[in-house]
Structure 1
Amino acid sequence: MTDQQTSPSPAIVQNSQSVSWAWLVPMVALLIGAWMVYYQWSKTGPTITIEFPRATGIEVEKTKIKTRDVDIGVVKKIELKPDLTGVIVSAQIAANAEHLLREDSNFWLVTPRVSLSGISGLSTLLSGPYIAMEPSESGVESFSFKALEDPPVTPNGTPGLHVTLNSDDEFAFKEGDPVIYKGLKVGEFEDIYFNLEERVVYYNVFIEAPYHRLVTDTTKFWNISGVQFELEATGLRVQTGSLETLLTNGVTFGVPEGLPQGKQITQRAYFDIFPSYDDAVNHRFKAAAQYVLLIDDTVRGLKVGAPVEYRGLVIGEVRDINPVGSQDGNIMHDGYAIPVVIAIQPSRVDRPDNDDGVNQVRDQISTWVSQGLRASLKMGNLLTSALYVDLQHYDDVEPAELGQYKGFETIPVRPNDLAQITEKVSVLLDKMNALPLQQLTGSIDQTLGSVQLALEQLSSTAAQLEGVLAEVESEQLAGQLRQTLDGVQQLTNDLANGSDNQESLMRTLAEIRQTFKSLQPLLHKLNQAPNRLIFDGGDSTIREPRGKSPSKEDNP
C-alpha cells in the first residue's frame, strides 16, 4: 500500500485587540486641560459693567478691582457709550465675591486727592489707580453699576444714624462738611440733593455711634460755619465754631433750653437747619398772638426778628414790616402809617403754647390797653442803631381800645423818645420865633449905650479920685518926714558941746571908768583862784614868777 502523505493542518491566526500605551499621554493631557478649564471656570465669577464719566488711569488687564485692599477682579474691556456721555468698563469678578454684587454696592476710582478734609489715595502714585468697591449684602443681585464721582463719606455698615437736613437759606454745605457736638466731630455730610419743585436743598448726614443716641425728636440743628457777626438791638455779637468749621462749613445740634429731651431717633428723620442758635430756640414757640402797630415815625433800624419787650423782658418778636398788600393809599403820603406785625408768644409769659394761651394773652392785652399800655420803638444800642418794640404802661395817656387793621388788632403807638425830643425842640423853636426879637434888640442897644456912657463917667471919676488920693498921700508923707527931721535936730542940739546933756554924759562915763578900775584887783584874784568866792583863807599874796636857779657849774 502506498504511503499517503498527510499535509499539516493550517494554523489558526488570531487578531490582537490590545490598546497601545501611546494613547495614554494625550488622554491624560486632555484630562488635565479639562480640569484646568473647570478649575478656572469655577474660580471665575460673572462679568460686570461699570459706567464712568471718563476712563482716566484705567487700563485693560492692569487696573484691579479691590475691596478692603483685596483683589476681587480686573478690568477686561473699555468702550465708549453710544451717546458719548461716558465710558463702559467691563470687569471680571472672582466667584467668591459674586455674593457682594448687589444693587446697593458702590464703585469709584481711587486716585490721589487733596481737599480741606484731608489727603487720600497717595498709594496710587506708585501702583496706579484702581477701582474700589464698597460691598453690600442688601438689595437684589445686579451686574450693572454706575460709579460714584467721589468716594463715599461713610462706608456701608458703619454703626450710627442717617438723617436728612434741609435748608431754605442761600448758604450751602458740601460733602464732607463736619457735624459738631460740643466741639467734637460726630458726623459728616454725605451727599446733596436739590428739589427743583420745592426749591429746597436736602442734605444726607451720617451721625456716628455712639453720638447718634443724642438725636431725639426735640433736637434742633443750626449753622456754625465760619465767623458769624450779628448786629442786634442789644449790640454786636460774634459766634464761632471749632477750628475746622472756621476753614470749612459745619452744623451742630442739641436740645434748646426749656425743651424736654424727647425720644431717641432710631431711623432716618428730617430736620431743618436754622441760621443760628437763637433761631432754633425761637422755633420752639409755636402759638402766637399777632398784632399790628401803625408807626408814624421812621422804621429805619427795625428788622424782622427784632424783640418785642415788656418792661425789659422778651415776650415776642417782629414778624413783618409793611407787608405786601397792606397799603391802603399812597406810601409816599405824609400821613401814611407803616404797619408792623408783631407776635406775642404765650409760652414766653408762662402761658400754654396753644390756642388757650393765645386767648389768655389777647384778653390781657385788651385790658392793659384800656389801662394805658402803649407800644413804641426804642433804640437798643447806639452803635448799631437797631430798634426794638417796647410795651410800657403810661399814666399821662388817655384811655383807648384795640383797633382793627386788615383783620389784625392794633395796639396804640406812642412816639419814640427821639420823636418826643424832636417835638419838644420844635415847640421851643416856635416859642422863640414868636418872641418880639426886633423890639428886644432895640431895647438892648439902648441899654448897652447907657451902660457904656456910665462906664466912661465912672472911669473919669476914678481918675480924679486917684489924683486926689495921690495928693493926700504926698502931704501925709511930707509931714511925717518933717517930724522925724525935727527929732534928729533936737537930739543933735542936746549933744552939742557946752550943753547940759553933754556934761551929764561925760560925768557918767567918768564914774563908769572909776568903777571898773576899782574892780580890777578883784578880777585879778578870781583869775588866780576862782574858788575864793566859796572858800575863805589862803595866802592872798600875789606871787610873782621867778626865773631858773643858777647851778654850781654856772659859778665862776
Structure 2
Amino acid sequence: MKTEQGFDNEANAEIKEVKTVSAIWFVPIVALLIGGWMVYYHLSNQGPLVTIYFESAEGMEAGKTKIKSRHVNIGEVETISLNEKGDGVTVTARMAKKTQRLLVEDSNFWIVTPKISLSGVSGLETLISGVYIEVSPGTSDESQDKFTALNSPPITPKGTPGLHITLNSNEEFAYSKGDPIIYKGLSVGQIEDVYFNIEERVVYYNVFIKSPYHELVTTNTRFWDVSGLTIDLNAEGITVKTGNVETILTNGVTFDVPDGMPLGNAVTERDYFDIYDDYQSASNARYKKSLQYVVFVSDSIRGLNVGAPVEYRGVLIGEVSSVNLATADPDVIYSEAVRIPVLISLQPGRVGLPDDDKGIALMNKQNMIWVKSGLRASLKTGNLLTGSLFVELQHFDLPPIKKLETYEGHDVIPTVRDEFSQITEKVGQFVDKLNDLPLDKIAANANGTLVNASTLLKDLQGTNQNLDQLLMSAKQQELVKQLRVALESVALLSQDFSSESEGYEELQEMMKSISDVMYELKPLLEQLKHQPNGLIFDSGIQNSEPKKYSEVNQ
C-alpha cells in the first residue's frame, strides 16, 4: 500500500481458497450416467442376434418385419442383404430377451404369407399387417444362432405326439406334401416330405401319423393307394374305390392289417413300409413263397392279364405271372399249331400249407399226382362285359399220363379247351357251312318260286271274286223265292178276311158279342170305379159288415 511517507512493505493480503470443479459439470455427468444406464438396460434386456437364410426376401422389410411364435412378437428383422453367391438373402434379426431356449439346432423358421390350398386357407391376417417370420421351437439341447428357413410351413409342429414312418414306392404314384393318410375314411396323418433316390429310382415319403392312431401301425400293417376315384373292370366285375371326399380331389394313402393276418407287434420308432397299388396287392404280399408252372394255350389269350386269378374249383390259389414267355422255336411263332406258354404261380399259403419250402414241396408233390390222374387247366371268362379271363384248374376223367412235360425249367400242367371256345368253334363251323351253301342258286330258285306264287295268288284272287259273285247271285235268287212265298201267304190271308168271305162274317159276330158283354159290365165297372169295396160291402154304407157270399152272388 502506498502512503504519504511512501510504500508500506507490510501490507495485509486476504487469501481465499480457489474451487477446482464447477457445479455446472454435474449436468453432463448425470446425463452420461443416465445414458449409460439406458444403454446397459437396453443391452441387458435385448435378446440374442440370429442370422436366417432365405431364398427370397419377398414381403420383408428391415425394421418392420416381425418374428413371431404362436402370434406373439419375439423379435424383429434388423438387416436384409444378399448372400455372397447371390442365390439367396441373409436376414439378421434381434430376438427378445429369454428367447434363447427357442434357438436350438432343430428350430424352424419360415415366412407366413396368404395361402389358399385344398387343405384350407391360412395367413389371411398378413393381408393387413404384412408378412412375418414364424418360429417353431425345436426339442434339441444344442443352441444355435444361424438357421436356414423353410420354403413352406412344416406339416407337423415339433413335439406333436405320434409316429414318424417312411413309405416307399417305385410305382407311378404322385403324392405331395400335405396329402392325407387315411384309416377307414378318417384322416389320421399327413405326408411331411418327399424324397426321390436317383440311384435306387425309388420315391420315399416321410409320414407322420397322429396319436392315438399311431398305435394302429404294426409290423403286419400294409399301405396302399386310394388316390382319386378308381373304377376297376376285372374278372370279378366292376369295383369302385376311394378313400374319402378329400382323396377324390387329391391323392392319399390308406393302411390296415389285411384280413386273415395277425395284428403283429406295435411299431414304436421310424420304420419302412411299401405302398401297394390296391388292397388286393397289399393282401397278397403276405405270401412269400410260390410254385410256378407253365400252361400251354392254343386259343387266344386276349383278356388274360398279369395278375389274373388262378382258381381250383372256385378257390383262389394263385395268379398269372406272365403271358409273354418266349417260345422255344421262333420259326413257328406264327404257326397255327403253336401253343402260347403262360406262367402261373401257385401259393401254398392260400390253401393252408406252410408258407415256406416245406409247403412248396408238399404242394408240388400233390399237384404232380393230380396232373397224372387228370388235373387240367383251362381259360374261363370271368366277366362278359370286359372279356377278362382267368385260369381254372379242374379234374377230368381222362386216361392217366406217365411222363410230365417241362418247359424252360418249369413243369407243365396240360390244358383243355374251355366250353366257350368250343361253342365259338362250333358257331364258326356252322358259319363256314352256311358260306359253303349255293346261296345264289337257292336265291334264284326262291325268286322263281315267289314269282309263281304271286301269279297263283292273282289267279286265286280272280277265282275268289267270281265265287263271291256266284254266291251273291244265289243268295239273291233265294231271297226272291222267299219273298214270293210270303206274298202268296199274305194274299191268301187277305182273301180269308174279305167282306164276302165266311171268316169276315165270323169275325163280325165275335166283335158284336164282345161289345154286348162290355155294355153289360159297364154299370159294374162304374160302381167299382167310385166304390172299389162295393163287391164286399153294401153300397153307400161305410164301415159296414161284408156282404154274405150269397148276397154277393145274387
Deviations 1:91-146 (A, max 9, x none): 55667544554433333334444433334444545554444433334365544432
| Contact 2:235–2:390 (Cα < 8 Å) also in 1 | no
The one of 245, 248, 254 equivalent to 2:247 is 245
The CA deviation string for residues 246-267 of structure 1, in whole angstroms up to 9 with x for no partner, is 3333222222222212111111
Query: In the alignment, is the contact (CA less than 8 A) between 2:190 and 2:207 conserved in 1?
Result: yes
Across the aligned residues of Structure 1 and Structure 2, the Cα RMSD in angstroms comes to 4.4
Tell me what 1:423 maps to: 425
Q: Secondary structure at the match of 1:169?
A: coil
User: Is structure 2 residue 378 aligned with structure 1 residue 380?
Assistant: no
Letter in structure 2 aligned against 1:284: R
Q: Deviations over 1:179-200 (max 9, x none)?
A: 2323333222211111110111
Q: 2:187 aligns with which of 185, 199, 214?
A: 185
Contact residue 374 and residue 413 of structure 1 kept, 8 A: yes
How far apart, in 2, do the equivalents of 1:111 and 1:449 lie?
92
Partners of 1:415 and 1:70 lie apart in 2 by 78
Aligned mate of 1:225, from 209, 224, 227: 227
Structure 1 residue 271: Cα displacement:
1.1
**Paired AA for residue 349 in structure 2:** S
Question: What is the rounded CA distance, in whole Å, between the counterparts of 1:48 and 1:526 in structure 2?
Answer: 143
Whether the aligned pair in 2 keeps the contact of 1:377 and 1:415 (CA below 8 Å) is: no
Q: Percent identity among equivalent residues?
A: 47
Query: TM-score under structure 2 normalisation?
Result: 0.76
Partner deviation per Cα, 1:363-402 (whole Å, 9 max, x = no partner): 44444443353321314141xx141314154758666686
Question: Residues 502 and 198 (structure 1 numbering): CA distance in 2 closer, same or farther, change over 3 Å?
Answer: same
Structure 1, unmatched stretches of 5+, are 1-15, 540-556
CA contact (8 A) 1:372 1:398 kept: no
Letter of the 1:295 partner, please give it.
Answer: V
Given residue 258 of structure 2, which amino acid in structure 1 is its aligned partner? P
1:430 CA drift (Å): 3.5
Query: Quick one: which amino acid aligns to residue 155 of structure 2?
Result: V
Which residue of 291, 294, 311 maps to 2:293? 291
Matched, 1:156 2:151: no
Q: 1:189 to 1:522 in 2, by over 3 A?
A: closer
* Paired amino acid for 2:107: S
Q: Is residue 235–residue 381 contact of structure 1 (8 Å, CA) maintained in 2?
A: no
Q: CA deviation at 1:348?
A: 3.0
Question: Could you report, residue by residue, the CA deviation over 1:285-318 in whole angstroms, capped at 9, with x for unpaired residues?
Answer: 3333333333333333333333333444433333
1:256 aligns with 2:258: yes
Instruction: Determine the C-alpha separation between the residues in 2 that align with 1:530 and 1:45.
Output: 140
Q: Deviations over 1:62-81 (max 9, x none)?
A: 55555455666555554433
What one-letter code is carried by the residue in structure 1 that aligns with 2:392?
L
Question: What does residue range 510-525 of structure 1 map to in structure 2 within 5 Å?
Answer: 510-517=512-519
Between the aligned partners of 2:410 and 2:452, the Cα distance in structure 1 is: 70
Task: Give 1:333-482 correspondences, 5 Å limit.
Answer: 333-369=335-371, 370-371=373-374, 373-382=376-385, 385-391=386-392, 393=394, 403-416=405-418, 418-433=420-435, 473=475, 476-482=478-484
Map 1:31-110; keep pairs closer than 5 Å.
48-60=50-62, 62-68=64-70, 75=77, 77-91=79-93, 96-98=98-100, 101-110=103-112
With the length of structure 1 as denominator, give the TM-score of the two structures.
Answer: 0.76
Amino acid at match of 2:374: Q
Indicate how the Cα distance of structure 1 residues 536 and 306 shifts in structure 2: closer, same or farther if over 3 A, else same: same
Q: What does 1:138-217 correspond to in 2, within 5 Å?
A: 138=140, 140-217=142-219
- What's the CA shift for 1:216? 1.1
Within 5 Å, which residues of 2 pair with 1:501-516?
Answer: 501-516=503-518
Question: Does the 8 Å CA contact 2:321/2:345 hold for their aligned counterparts?
Answer: yes
Q: Could you tell me how far 1:328 is from its partner in structure 2?
A: 4.2
Does the 8 Å CA contact 2:291/2:346 hold for their aligned counterparts?
yes
* 1:542 aligned partner: none
- Residues 530-539 or 83-92, more deviating: 530-539
Equivalent residue number for residue 268 of structure 2: 266
Equivalenced residues, count: 520
Question: How far apart in 2 are the matches of 1:455 and 1:120?
Answer: 91
Q: Shift of residue 333 of structure 1?
A: 4.8
Asked whether 1:135 is paired with 2:159, we answer no
Aligned residue type for 2:265: K
Answer with 166-175 or 471-480: which moved more: 471-480
2:213 counterpart letter in structure 1: Y
Residue in structure 2 matching 1:282, options 275, 281, 284: 284
Q: Please give the alpha-carbon distance, in whole angstroms, between the structure 2 residues aligned to 1:165 and 1:218.
A: 14
Given that 1:166 and 1:273 are in contact with CA atoms closer than 8 Å, whether structure 2 keeps it comes out as: yes
Q: CA deviation at 1:518?
A: 5.3
The question of whether the paired residues in 2 share the 8 Å contact of 1:217 and 1:262 is answered with yes
Contact 1:51–1:87 (CA under 8 A) maintained in structure 2: yes
Moved more, 367-376 or 464-473: 464-473
Of residues 431-440 and 250-259 in structure 1, the stretch that sits farther from structure 2 once superposed is 431-440
Residue 387 of structure 1 aligns with an amino acid whose one-letter code is: S
